Amino acid sequence: MKAVVVTDFGSQPEFVELPTPEPGTGEVLVRIHAAGVNPFDWKVADGALKGSVAHEFPLVMGSDGAGVVEKTGPGVTRFRPGDRVYGQFMRLPQGQGSYAEYTLAEQDGKIALIPDTLSFTLAAALPTASVTAYQAVQAVRLDRGHTLLINGASGGVGQSAIQFAARSGVRVLATGTPDVADHLRELGAHTIIDFTEAPTHEQVAAHHPEGIDAVIDLVTPAGGDISPVAGLVHTGGTLLSTNHAADPDALAIRGVRGVNLANNPTAETLTTLAGLAAIGELRVRIDAEVPLADAAAIIAKARAGHSTGKTVIVP
């Protein structure tokens, strides 16, 4: 099968031929029809989890994918050949990922069936970004009328988070440049903050001197200074980071809850999100669909930023 691999941490992605894997006990072999691209994919290839998780090289890149069950291993009862499925397929100790024609998943792992009406492309764009958005909005625990800043709202996680928050009546302040402002408003954002005009925290503080109820920060890297946006949250509110940039102990001193979120794509959550996407209740903008052979170039482009939606690789 064709696949995109790295042969070591930090090496350039390569388009190669690999043996098609065989499903073992409890595993399904999935023929990938679409693989979603996420910043996590190259962070892992660069070594973000080096030392904490075993990695097998060559390592097939990518986590998110959607396709059809081709074959099942012994003991598989939840899926059968022909099922349309999607989810997260990254298995670092086995060197497996979604940027390939075929990959394996555990039947009890991070996959679920998708409705016939949901395209593989849209399904592949959902798992990491939309599950993170869904769980982030749940984790900040806001009610109707509360105010939430989504810092980094114009990307994959942010666009889904806008929709989940707005649907529960939360007033969403979303960062974004003028070219995406109308789109973010259509998704449910109340106010767009052009972060290229002036620092986001200054713009928000000017309109909310009393503070806001929560921030979902998708921008500050681990070890970066999150204090400017954290300072916007009033006592009793929540600061959530998807990059482990929150310091819950320091925030607790002034009565703010700090959350470092790691997404957990359960089959139940995946099923819920696929259902919402199938009926148009969760909208995902696809920036580009590219062939597997062009994955290396697409990763280089995605690393440079300016994401305004999701990129999907089509093997």
Ligand X SMILES: NC(=O)c1ccc[n+]([C@@H]2O[C@H](COP(=O)([O-])OP(=O)(O)OC[C@H]3O[C@@H](n4cnc5c(N)ncnc54)[C@H](OP(=O)(O)O)[C@@H]3O)[C@@H](O)[C@H]2O)c1
In the list 38, 98, 103, 269, the residue contacting ligand X (rule: CB under 6 A) is 38
Binding mask 43-72 for ligand X (x = CB under 6 A): x-----------------------------
40 binds ligand X (CB under 6 A): yes
**Is the CB of 102 or the CB of 195 nearer to ligand X?**
195
φ/ψ region of 118 (left if φ > 0, alpha if ψ in -120 to 50, else beta) reads beta
Where is 39: in which H helix or E strand? helix 39-46
89 binds ligand X (CB under 6 A): no
148 binds ligand X (CB under 6 A): no
Shortest approach of ligand X to residue 19 CB, angstroms?
A: 30
Shortest approach of ligand X to residue 156 CB, angstroms?
A: 4
Chain centre distance of CA 72: 27
In the list 155, 188, 237, 258, the residue contacting ligand X (rule: CB under 6 A) is 155
Binding mask 117-146 for ligand X (x = CB under 6 A): -----------xx--x--------------
**Is the CB of 79 or the CB of 134 nearer to ligand X?**
134
CA angle 216, 218, 222 (to 5 degrees): 110
Scanning 2-10, 118-126, 142-150, 300-308 for contacts with ligand X by CB under 6 A, the matching segment is 300-308
* Contact indicator for 109, 27 with CB cutoff of 8 Å: no
Q: Report the residue number whose CB is nearest to ligand X.
A: 155
Shortest approach of ligand X to residue 196 CB, angstroms?
A: 8
Q: Which of 42, 255, 276 is nearest to 137 (CA)?
A: 276
311 binds ligand X (CB under 6 A): no
154 binds ligand X (CB under 6 A): yes
**Is the CB of 29 or the CB of 34 nearer to ligand X?**
34
157 binds ligand X (CB under 6 A): yes
Q: Burial of 280 by CB count in 10 Å (0-12 exposed, 13-18 middle, 19+ buried)?
A: exposed
306 binds ligand X (CB under 6 A): yes
CA dihedral 160, 161, 166, 171 (to 10 degrees): -140
Q: Which of 130, 173, 178 is nearest to 153 (CA)?
A: 173
Structure tokens at 76: 């598989």
156 binds ligand X (CB under 6 A): yes
* Contact indicator for 41, 58 with CB cutoff of 8 Å: no
218 binds ligand X (CB under 6 A): yes
E strands, the chain, where?
2-6, 14-17, 27-36, 59-60, 64-72, 84-88, 102-106, 111-113, 147-151, 171-175, 191-193, 212-217, 233-241, 257-260, 286-291, 310-314
307 binds ligand X (CB under 6 A): yes
Whose tokens are 């503070």? That residue is 211
Shortest approach of ligand X to residue 147 CB, angstroms?
A: 17
3 binds ligand X (CB under 6 A): no
Binding mask 231-270 for ligand X (x = CB under 6 A): -----------xx-----------------xxx-------
Q: Which residues contact 206 (CB under 8 A, 6 or more apart)?
A: none
Binding site for ligand X (CB under 6 A): 38-40, 43, 128-129, 132, 151-152, 154-158, 175, 195, 200, 218-219, 242-243, 261-263, 305-307
